[in-house]
Amino acid sequence: MKSESVNITCTIASSESVTPSCKGAWNLGTACGKCQRCLATAPAEIKLLQRELKMYKEAWIRELGGTLYRKSHLIDALCLTTLMLREELFALKHKMRIDMLNANLAVRDECIALWAQAQADVAAKSDG
């Protein structure tokens, strides 16, 4: 196993604009990926993945209607909102099926009544 030593130094240019930065390194897997130094030194693959993840996150939120349930972690909010919307959709589909069934039964009853009336009219004409 190959071991590497990494020396990381961080200097602050002016005392007026202090931006916190971590002491992690990308090659060690300890970079935070959020501070200014990490963002500036991120490999191209990491930057590409971060852009893609942001795109997927924004698309998912957009497809959920832009309103999420409040949770402490974004993934929990996305999953809970998706679950709740699926349950609402299932309930709506169930109600639509029941309404369709009731409408079909009403049409069937109307057709049976019309058929009975037509048979009665034919029977009355043949008797008279």
Q: Which pLDDT does position 9 carry in this prediction?
A: 43
pLDDT tens digits, 34-63: 788 887 887 888 788 888 989 988 998 898
* Greater model confidence, 4 or 26: 26
Q: What is the pLDDT of residues 73-114, one digit of tens each?
A: 988 999 999 999 999 999 999 999 999 999 999 999 999 999
pLDDT of residue 38: 81
What does the pLDDT read at residue 19? 54
Helices in 1-73 by DSSP H: which ranges? 36-41, 44-63
Q: What is the pTM of this model?
A: 0.48
Gap between the Cα atoms of 1 and 41, Å rounded: 25
Confidence band for 128, pLDDT divided at 50, 70 and 90: low
The pLDDT of residue 108: 92
Residue 42's alpha-carbon distances to 11, 33, 39, 45, 64, in angstroms, are 18, 7, 5, 8, 31
pLDDT at site 91? 93
